[in-house]
Structure 1
Amino acid sequence: MRGPRPRHTLGFALFFLTVPWVAGPAPAHAQGEGAAITATDLAAVHARQIGPAVTGGRITDLAIHPDHRSTIYVATASGGIWKSVNRGHSWTPLFDDQPVAAFGDVTLAPSDPEIVYAGTGEQNNRNSTSWGNGVYRSDDGGATWRHLGLEGTRHVGRILVHPDDPDVAWVAGLGNLWAPNEERGVFRTRDGGLSWEKALYVDEHTGAVDLAYDQTNPDVLYAATYQRERKAWGFNGGGPGSGIWKSTDGGSTWIELTNGLPAGDKGRIGIAVSPSHPNVVMALVEAPTAPGDTPEEGRPGAFGPMRRDPGATGTYRSEDGGATWQKMSDENGRPMYYSHIFIDPNDPELVYSASTNSVKSEDGGRTWTTIAAQPSYDVGVHLDMHAMWFDPDDRDHFYLAGDGGLHETFDGGSSYRKINNFAIGQFYAIGVDQRDPYWVYGGMQDNHSWMGPSETRRYDGILNDDWQQTGFSDGMYQQVDKGGPRNVYVAATSGSYNRVDVLAGTKRPIGPVAPAGERYRFDWTSPGLASMHTEGLFYLGGNRLFISRDFGETFERTEPLDRDIDRDSREVMG
């Protein structure tokens, strides 16, 4: 597979910098000791993309032109918006000249699909989530954009555009992930984004994460509100502000829907309305653990990846426009990161949920089967999906997108075409070696660790095939030993390191071993550093600084560098 053309650059695809030879005076930083780099210096620096595209990358949403289905728009977590006019065989980046690259939604106006609304800031609540600066609009299919405001929403969960009037739109704004703020909730415009009114607001901790409407009567709206906040030490993903709301007057007034839904605090919620039977509404609802079910007896209930009540969390269905709800099943994988539910355009019983293992139900959510199986680790369709699009004329044809990029199926999910020809991967960290040409090493969000050459002798340049995998899981820091690529320190999550001989293709786990009765602690992205001066000298950061002088075989340690505070005792959301 040929990689992306060098002329396209974007946020988190790897690039390196070249400075062309220019006759004339030396740059300012060379004329005086310690002089700052100037704008003139930077103007001479040009980025050249080197990939990789082979892995795909985190996609948050996609949209297909209803009249020209070869035209695809893809919104990414931090790589901008991309467009293809030939079903994904080639791509054009649409946001390289804009100040943001993180997106939660891209939506086409049904009455004029050349009008595109884009909501910035991804809606998934990871510690690596990137924020945006509001909403943008294009009237020419993404060729040009104008900013419509709503900067404080920071993370946009969903945009709906009126089916008949492209100037009427609704935005689900989550607000600041890291602090309370008031610019969150559901916003409405009736003049194409020139002005906005706050249609639904709960409080400074609660935003809106999802929206759906009756396509035959867009005055009937459903909104999912979500109370959440993240700190450096933890995440609280729920509270009394979370819920499902309904409006029958286009968003002017709202009522909360509760009959049959879990009582009390709730977490993230995803909603969908059947296009063919609009009284059918589906929801994925997260409920907290009950008090006393956590390791600390009597502690209040909590939300998080592994803290939810299986008795209340699950798939809910209403057949009377939300007046009453029935729990159909426990299906709702890792709600804080997914909560994506979809209903087939023509069949209200055919329901899909995109999550770690994406599934479908043919009986309205009662039972589920996997649609994107992995026969073995990292073989098949990548896990962790966030978006889907369904062909209204062929129920077996749909797109599935997520952390591993974009996939297309024509047989209902039995097999897929992976569309991995545009570089949208997110790199946590990179390193380089001293070969000529030098090689670049990178750790990627949910797409492993890789290495690739900075240049090749081929006319076509650097290809996907030139990139080689060096590690698994989320890749993190990558450090090459002073002695060369026979010893490369490759990190995954939470302080997990391997020493890799990239020439021989072998690896060995390394890391400090804690004495009996003690546990070392590491951050999600635990830093590692290979000495530039001494072979075999490697530093690893955790709650202590760990130092190895023998390529990671053994480690010394410093005194503890933390304050020994139980993070579960600290307040996340007041």
Structure 2
Amino acid sequence: MKLKKWPTILTVLTLVVVFGSVILLQQLSTSKVTQGNVEDEVNEGKEEFIEKGPGKRDDWFMTQKGFEEDVIPRDAFRKAREQANELKNATAKEAPGALNQEWGFNAPSNIGGRIVDVVVDPNEEDTIYIGAASGGVWKSTDAGDTFEVAWDDNLTQSIGAVEITSEGTLFVGTGEANPGGGSIVYGGSGVYRSTDGGESWDDIGLKETSSIGRIMADPEDPNTVYVAATGPLFHDGGERGLYKTEDGGDSWELILEGENLTTGAIDIAIDQSDADTIFVTMWDRIRYPSGRQYSGEGTGIYRSTDGGSTWEQLTDGLPDGDLGRMGIAISESNPDRAYLTVIQPSGYFEGFYITDDGGDSWEKADHNNRLANSQSSFGWWFGRNYVDPNDEDHVFVSGVSLLESTDGGENWSQSNGREVHADQHSMAWDPKVPGRVYLGNDGGVYRSEDNGSVTNEWFKATYEPYTQFYTLAVSHQDPSRLSGGTQDNGSIRSWGDGEVDWNNYNGGDGLENQINYEDNNWVYACYQYGNCSWSDDGGETMNNFTRNTVSDRRNWLSPLEFDPNDPSIMYYAGNIVNRSTDGGKTWEAISPSLSDAESIDNYPYGTVTTLAVAKSNSDVIYAGTDDGRLWTTKDLGENWTEIEDEDLPGRWVTRVAVDSKNEDIVYATFSGFRAAEDDAHVLKSRDGGETWDDISSNLPDAPVNDIVINPKNRNTIYVATDVGVYVSPNGGKKWYSLGEGIPLVAVTDLEYHEPTGVLHAATFGRGVYEVELRGW
């Protein structure tokens, strides 16, 4: 084993260059943040975060999960879920006590999360179904006000598309096809069918599709259904293209194949007056750690007039060359009219096209900047259009805002960020209630009684428990006080401002959150790339501190940790570790750069991802980085030692945890898929990092996101993975599934509340769960 020692060299520090987005937050930090202006910040500041910030927001997931591999191995998500279910079955036989722990849903229920599809039940009044991006399928019987789960907790929670036939049969395509939002999109396991309103589901094939962009049923024959199989995002191959069933899903036929192994189908439109006329948009796309290819020779729009037996590519009036994602919609009242949005490979808007001859020829519409700006620089995140069933000139385009035209695309109005959350994905008209329209976006579900008018009132669902959490904090003093960082919904809290439910207190994509364990009025919240703030009044006013820290680059999710012996002492890191002794107001750098890497593509690669301070000796600190390094200092930063050992996997370090009684006992968890099934996930050192043992044992082959040591029984440890929570009662020799009642969903953070013995799990798509640990 080699040790690299760094002398103390930080005698003179250069001033940090403050990101433009920090300035934005500084302007907001002196005033109370309300729900409305948080949504405005998300909406109006999105382009700044993506293009003008230190990196592009959708690189974090891929660089973490794939690490230095060119692609995530084939079927990695599906295999991990299968292994998780196998381990649950083994736990029931070998250690039933571990499963006897009962998880319960904690919160939130009023925030919502990303909705990728909405369908209206054609037969039941006020009944709709929605697909949550990583939270399963949900049903509402009160016109979208409240939702109950209509999906098996043991199935993949990643959803791409939902459809309901004229007879009420549900079809669900798993695997989200929108490759944005941090690229935090999990692969699926094919298509499922329910004939009882979501009570039970049948697996009906297409397991290798990985992601599905759209499902549409023949309006005349409910047994005929089309599936736009977009295919795996992270590698080529799989089941891609347009599939058709004529027997209700018992068998499938590929009726339109892509030009190459990276081309899949993304959108479908069917002529409601002639179901043999079908439009399909094909999209050539793949995602690598070092960049994305969201265009190619396979991208285009195709039409069939014989139910998919033959196809022609439509080109008259459409742009030549590489094109990005396309969205297609046909007017129900005038089937000769159709609308097409075209995105550039870069993600910017290319144009809005109209046909009045059934697709034979297209004309590019003159559009104002409002329409183009709606796609920002990530138009591949949206890709759907909608036409009022009763008015061919009343058309909607999904974007950051919802865009509406009442004159066939000549003029456009956009939704108000205070009325409707940013990032639109799905719309559906209720044929039983004139003027009623449903909308799904990154904030959940909305309902309009004014035919979708973007300038009139929208009603947000009041119970929608499918929020995507990155992190969670629980007050040591008051366990009812929780806060967390959430995808596209900012940092949210369970208290404050006279609210009776969860509310926003810091904008952007919410990331690291912390609550002072001696005074819960001191809270901390960050948004992307380490833009963090402190508050001494429970979050009513936020004060940015990033400008007072030193680092050249900062991770999308930058670590912020307390000294376990003194909460006024805190640690924060970009590529350099910083220390504060006054609760985060002022900072001093205490390390050199702990990574030499600078970037992968535009992502600020080469950063610290996790920090841990030993409770038994606060001079001992451990750090892990995104380029697979582990570091330690035994003298409060005077000297840093890089830990090099052949047993370390050398990939993204997700968490380091130190035994509360012995600073030499340390655990490290990692992310980064590999093809081998004996992949290392959790390692343990008993000598301060000199040597390491792999204690992954029988864990599923999936990234591990967090580790917690039970302070009452330090040989019992818990891990959060992309496929659930696991416990080892023997220091990692054997792992068991922990508890019943929690879905098979990615768990991103664990928080143990020692006074009550409750373990909290932050999930990426199903909110927060908790379990009172009994003997485990």
- Structure 2: where are the runs of 5+ without partners? 1-92, 605-776
Deviations 1:268-317 (A, max 9, x none): 110011112112111110124xxxxxxxxxxxxxx13xxx3x6xx12111
Q: Compare 483-492 and 344-353 and name the one that shifted more.
A: 483-492
Equivalent position of 1:11 in the other structure: none
Task: Output the CA distance in 2 between the equivalents of 1:429 and 1:505.
Answer: 20
Provide the TM-score with structure 1 as the length reference.
0.81
SS of residue paired to 2:103: strand
Equivalent position of 2:697 in the other structure: none
SS of residue paired to 1:567: coil
Contact 2:223 2:248 in 1 (8 A): yes
Task: Output the CA distance in 2 between the equivalents of 1:116 and 1:144.
Answer: 10
Contact 1:225 1:241 in 2 (8 A): yes
Equivalent position of 1:509 in the other structure: 544
CA-CA distance at 1:406 after TM superposition:
1.2
Aligned match for 1:256, one of 313, 335, 351: 313
Which AA in structure 2 matches 1:336? W
Task: Output the CA distance in 1 between the equivalents of 2:310 and 2:446.
Answer: 39
Q: Report the CA distance shift for 1:236/1:520 in structure 2 as closer, same or farther (over 3 A).
A: farther
Which AA in structure 2 matches 1:472? G
Task: Output the CA distance in 1 between the equivalents of 2:581 and 2:288.
Answer: 35
Task: Output the CA distance in 2 between the equivalents of 1:390 and 1:380.
Answer: 19
Contact 2:284 2:294 in 1 (8 A): yes
Aligned match for 2:240, one of 184, 190, 207: 184
Contact 1:54 1:464 in 2 (8 A): no
Equivalent position of 1:458 in the other structure: none
Deviations 1:412-444 (A, max 9, x none): 421111112121111111122211435222111
CA-CA distance at 1:187 after TM superposition:
1.1
Equivalent position of 1:124 in the other structure: 178
Aligned match for 1:432, one of 449, 474, 495: 474
Aligned match for 2:398, one of 354, 373, 392: 354
Q: Report the CA distance shift for 1:567/1:38 in structure 2 as closer, same or farther (over 3 A).
A: farther
CA-CA distance at 1:147 after TM superposition:
0.8
Task: Output the CA distance in 2 between the equivalents of 1:211 and 1:220.
Answer: 11
Contact 2:523 2:539 in 1 (8 A): no
Contact 1:208 1:223 in 2 (8 A): yes
CA-CA distance at 1:476 after TM superposition:
0.9
Q: Report the CA distance shift for 1:523/1:225 in structure 2 as closer, same or farther (over 3 A).
A: farther
Contact 1:280 1:319 in 2 (8 A): yes
Provide the TM-score with structure 2 as the length reference.
0.61
* Structure 1 residue 93 corresponds to structure 2 residue 149: yes
Q: Report the CA distance shift for 1:266/1:190 in structure 2 as closer, same or farther (over 3 A).
A: same
Task: Output the CA distance in 1 between the equivalents of 2:600 and 2:149.
Answer: 45
Equivalent position of 1:80 in the other structure: 136
Equivalent position of 1:300 in the other structure: none
SS of residue paired to 2:96: helix
Equivalent position of 2:753 in the other structure: none
Which AA in structure 1 matches 2:439? L
CA-CA distance at 1:216 after TM superposition:
1.8
Equivalent position of 2:416 in the other structure: 373
Equivalent position of 1:298 in the other structure: none
Contact 1:431 1:442 in 2 (8 A): yes
Contact 1:406 1:420 in 2 (8 A): no
Q: Report the CA distance shift for 1:39/1:325 in structure 2 as closer, same or farther (over 3 A).
A: farther
- Structure 1: where are the runs of 5+ without partners? 1-36, 289-302, 454-462
Equivalent position of 1:270 in the other structure: 327
Contact 1:405 1:420 in 2 (8 A): no
Q: Report the CA distance shift for 1:248/1:367 in structure 2 as closer, same or farther (over 3 A).
A: same
Contact 1:396 1:411 in 2 (8 A): yes
SS of residue paired to 1:46: coil
Task: Output the CA distance in 2 between the equivalents of 1:42 and 1:329.
Answer: 63
CA-CA distance at 1:259 after TM superposition:
1.0
Task: Output the CA distance in 1 between the equivalents of 2:492 and 2:283.
Answer: 36
Task: Output the CA distance in 1 between the equivalents of 2:360 and 2:262.
Answer: 26
Q: Report the CA distance shift for 1:488/1:555 in structure 2 as closer, same or farther (over 3 A).
A: farther
Contact 2:279 2:302 in 1 (8 A): yes
Deviations 1:25-60 (A, max 9, x none): xxxxxxxxxxxx974233121112121122222111
Contact 1:262 1:287 in 2 (8 A): no
* Structure 1 residue 206 corresponds to structure 2 residue 270: no
Task: Output the CA distance in 2 between the equivalents of 1:105 and 1:490.
Answer: 33
Higher relative contact order (CA 8 A, sep 6+): 2
If each structure's helix is expressed as a fraction of its own residues, which one has the higher value?
A: 2
Aligned match for 1:322, one of 346, 352, 359: 359
Q: Report the CA distance shift for 1:214/1:428 in structure 2 as closer, same or farther (over 3 A).
A: same
Contact 1:189 1:196 in 2 (8 A): yes
CA-CA distance at 1:160 after TM superposition:
1.2
Task: Output the CA distance in 2 between the equivalents of 1:105 and 1:396.
Answer: 24
Equivalent position of 1:299 in the other structure: none
Identity of aligned residues (%): 34
Q: Report the CA distance shift for 1:92/1:428 in structure 2 as closer, same or farther (over 3 A).
A: same
Aligned match for 1:561, one of 595, 599, 619: 595
CA-CA distance at 1:403 after TM superposition:
0.9
* Structure 1 residue 341 corresponds to structure 2 residue 385: yes
* Structure 1 residue 488 corresponds to structure 2 residue 523: yes
Task: Output the CA distance in 1 between the equivalents of 2:321 and 2:242.
Answer: 22
Q: Report the CA distance shift for 1:97/1:394 in structure 2 as closer, same or farther (over 3 A).
A: closer
